[in-house]
Amino acid sequence: MKFTPEIYKIPDVPMQSFIDIDEIWDYINNTASTPERVQEVIAKSLGKNRLNLEEVAVLINAGDEESINAIKEGARELKQRIYGNRIVLFAPLYVGNKCSNNCTYCGFKASNKEAVRKTLTHEELIQEIEALEDIGQKRLILVYGEHAQYSPEFIAETVRVAYSVKKGNGEIRRVNINAAPLDIEGFRTVKEAGIGTFQVFQETYHREAYKTYHLRGKKADYDYRLTSLDRAQEAGLDDVGIGALFGLYDWRFEVMGLVRHTNHLEACYNVGPHTISFPRIKDASMLNMGTKYFVSDEDFTRLVAILRLAVPYTGMILTAREPQHLRDELIQFGVSQIDGGTKIELGSYHEKEANKDLKKGQFRINDDRPLNQIIDELLDQNMLPSFCTSCYRAGRTGEHFMEFSVPGFIKRFCTPNAILTLAEYLEDYAPEHTAKKGWKVIENNMAEVDEKMKEKLRERLEQVKKGVRDLYF
């Protein structure tokens, strides 16, 4: 996929800062938005084109109800056209919460003496992964504080452990990472361990605001963080995830920042981010910060729809930070990945006692439904919960561009693989009522499979029923 370069005030140079605060505000403050212009921009997005900053500002500035509804409907249509009924499931696994930074918003900040500090031992890591495999998880994101102990070698070792643990029919087939930014050599080290996506959230793209939340530690360096995924690219790690923590600064600015980051990566490396995350600040131990920029549910829904339209090719992640009713709604607007059965207190997947102590987690989650309940409820909506990891393992790198730009790709690969991984789940982990429902949903979704693939898929489904695992196209 070739991207059309755009010219902004700060030119796109690899490993150099690219955010011009005045330019972004200029777009927000001086872009007119009429219902007609909003329709034009939505049409451009439905034509599978990423939007530029001026066009995103048109959507952000849409004030009338009709335009806001049109944006949501546009996002809904784009999601249906490009991503179909699939929704990818994963689980976060917190490996260590020691941290030398002091991010105002985070329960793991160094100054929080209330926080119970812990790094999983080798044995505990294995127990956690076994517990995750026992409920059917196949995709993880490993999460770490920023601490000298969590070196690239340490991270790589935890990734190798995750891949090595096999319990029953369980195995982890994709490990993503959310950790502090690394240098080029460090990114190389974790890439070699076979990671999927490396996520680094900029938190806020506004340099001055950033300073106020990150007074000490390595994270105080705005530019080092902003260019971290450039270093990943330089290391050959082209599968990266960006994000902003909503509530630190004006949401409109952050949406523009995420799009500017996207076009920077496209311009320098001809590859956009694999995923975009948009966490909102949640309650945390010793959280003490102003609420001026906190984002209402209404604005949040709107900004998710805008992001969907702005970057049609990118996966969008919505975590259990958000409550069920919002997650259900936002899946319809183009969220493509959610976590399920989430527990964020260190060691809590394998510990018998429920552990929801704020002092032990990074923040409070708002959707603690078990994985099977989430799957069951997705099936009620005829959605296809998917544990697919096929592209990345079949060497089809840049898969999100293929889903997006190769005609028929979803019907040939994504839907059949979603069906195969769901079938495995139904056979190995689902209670009877979910299994029954699941097989019906698989049948319903057969219509979405390429005609030439259907017969092969049916054969493979028979094999899954006979106990063969890890079949994919």
Q: Where do contacts with ligand SAM occur on this chain (CB under 6 A)? A: 105-106, 143-146, 178-180, 200-201, 203, 245, 279, 281-282, 284, 321, 362-363
Closest approach, Cβ 255 to ligand SF4, in A, equals 21
Candidate ranges 105-113, 117-125, 126-134, 446-454; the one touching ligand SF4 (CB under 6 A): 105-113
CB neighbour list of residue 452: distance below 8 Å, 6 or more residues apart: 412
Helical segments of 171-296, H only? 184-192, 207-213, 222-226, 228-234, 251-269
109's contact among ligand SAM, ligand SF4, none, with CB below 5 to 8 A by partner kind, is: ligand SF4
Do the beta carbons of residue 344 and residue 90 sit within 8 Å? no
Query: Distance between CA atoms of 107 and 362, rounded to whole angstroms?
Result: 5
The reply to whether 344 sits near ligand SF4 by the rule CB under 6 A is no
Of residues 8 and 144, the one with the C-beta less far from ligand SAM: 144
**Spatial CA neighbour of 307 closest among 398, 231, 225, 246:** 246
- CA atoms of 373 and 392, how far apart (whole Å): 28
CB atoms within 10 A of CB 149: 11
Closest-CA residue to 249 (of 286, 289, 216, 200): 289
Q: Produce one character per residue of 201-211: b if its CB has 16 or more CB atoms within 10 Å, e if not.
A: bbbbbbeebbe
> Counting contacts by CB under 6 A, is residue 92 touching ligand SF4?
no
Print the binding letters for residues 129-148 with ligand SF4: x by CB under 6 A, - otherwise.
----------------xx--
Which of ligand SAM, ligand SF4, none interacts with 240 (beta carbon under 5 to 8 A by kind)? none
Nearest residue (CB) to ligand SAM, 8 versus 187: 187
The residue (of 206 and 411) whose beta carbon lies closer to ligand SF4 is: 206
Q: 257: which 2 tokens?
A: 């920042």
- Chosen residue from 18, 83, 94, 108 binding ligand SF4 by CB under 6 A: 108
Sign for the CA dihedral angle at 272, 197, 472, 88 comes to negative
Q: Does 219 bind ligand SF4 (CB under 6 A)?
A: yes
Nearer to ligand SF4, 147 or 191 (CB): 147
Binding residues for ligand SF4 (CB under 6 A): 99, 101, 103, 106, 108-109, 145-146, 219
